[in-house]
Structure 1
């Protein structure tokens, strides 16, 4: 597998869901085509853009200009950046603002932002007037390859990540790779964890390609569009086969059972970005799989080596503030995992690995094994 030698004009993929199918448009500077695409999709529509303060500073005016040029009326709802907006209070703020803007059932909500904005705006759209369509315009790498595709929307509970939400598919995703140039290095790295995840869970060749080409992707070369398109293609195929996560789609949660518990344990704070939690969680899942005799140590080392090479955390001790604040003990982390959405009748389900490129759903894992594993991992000093 090789990267294209130059930037393509754009790449369009389809999420094949029958009458609810929609396109993912990927490419540099495709944001300027948003108004034209929305007008073709919904003639005469009115829109409301939900975004956060940081994204608004860079991209709100350009988004509004694209819509205005296509004759589309729009208003804006601006929330604070970060997981703190993905709450009951954040949902109330956005929902009431959409009602005040007189967004009707045949109008569109536009989520302009990263995963937090996409989840929050999508959930508000899902419940507004019992369902309003929405468009995803993801502005982070994580959102472009993961959260903007597939229709998962929601907010956090103090008891856990994404415990309130709805499946509500967008009608269009426009992923402009140029907007990623404004991300901080840490934000880009965090999003990269979700890119690497697609290779680890189901495509060893793609993982090998990432090992060879990640530098060009980070630098904004043609590898960026290729990696994003490959990730979206993989997710779109799984979503088309299992939209409501009754089976195969659960594989996309590789690293998330551990990762979500760690995000909750650190208070959904800047101590641990979502993608960083996924990175640590993938390594823990690989190491736990090795403990169970499922995967060879060479594959585990390869996963850790690559994630560490791009600057992602790979151990619990890498989490910011570990030396000062520590983490809850193994029993407390296990209790947080018990709130995971994959728990069935109180029994834990993990996504584990048989090899790089071969993830499996492992139901009914004995909690004592997980507790002992986490106890050993937490005991390491460095």
Structure 2
């Protein structure tokens, strides 16, 4: 009996150890950007809902098709058959729309996962800079207090240094809170354990947009983007079901409105893609400028290190040069993250949000009749 109790105790200890070690491992394990995207796609409730919608609309479409097949062939449509035929065409449209929306939402989930991943990286960079600034202000205060003892610094200078140090501490506290919030948001989105702190990979590769010309991306968007596809296809279906409308004139007006709506959406797509295209090219120029700034800051730091070694400048001066390098690196990293996200989203998500391209209201009503 005693042996059984010992074995149970050991088993319990092992189980608890596995839980604790597993949580610690999850908190310390590296998480690449691709892994974060895979987790987001796997755990997305929106994508699960989209899959359900595809199954639901497919079922409705099949039921309507079977109902139409049960009618005897006649040279004309009966009112009931006309209604079913109209509803079937909208059901077929809704099934395809649900499939398109699933692909669109995969792009949205990918972009949002990237954004949250980059939010953590930016927050980490901001915290490093805030801590370095706080360290710099602390050293500055120490130097001023030393000078005050020998009459080389005034009370006002001491007060100003203390205020600067307190401000830097506030900034550090705020940066820590921002990082905490960014991690919490990432954990929620990826369905990670609360409090997890995976080590993110900050070395995000930068490559320019494979520039095939604006017209190429506009045509791609007009062919594949959900919002325009939905409006264009809805217009086509509206035209097809005009003859099945209870009042032909009403159906014809609805069809004309649908085509006008599609034309307006087409112009919106062109504007969105054009703006996003120019933004990416401008961002690439900005990145080139920031790379030059970082190179110059690193050269200045090397000079400062040599000057500090031979006693020309103080440690605080050298620390100031380190701060400028970190500032330049942070600015470059942020721009690269923005560029990576912009290129990934381009052109299919240009100007869109997660609610774009939802099911056409008229088509839903027709299907439910």
* TM-score tier (shorter): under 0.3
Q: Whose RCO is larger (CA < 8 A, sep 6+)?
A: 2
Structure richer in strand, relative to its length: 1
Structure richer in helix, relative to its length: 2
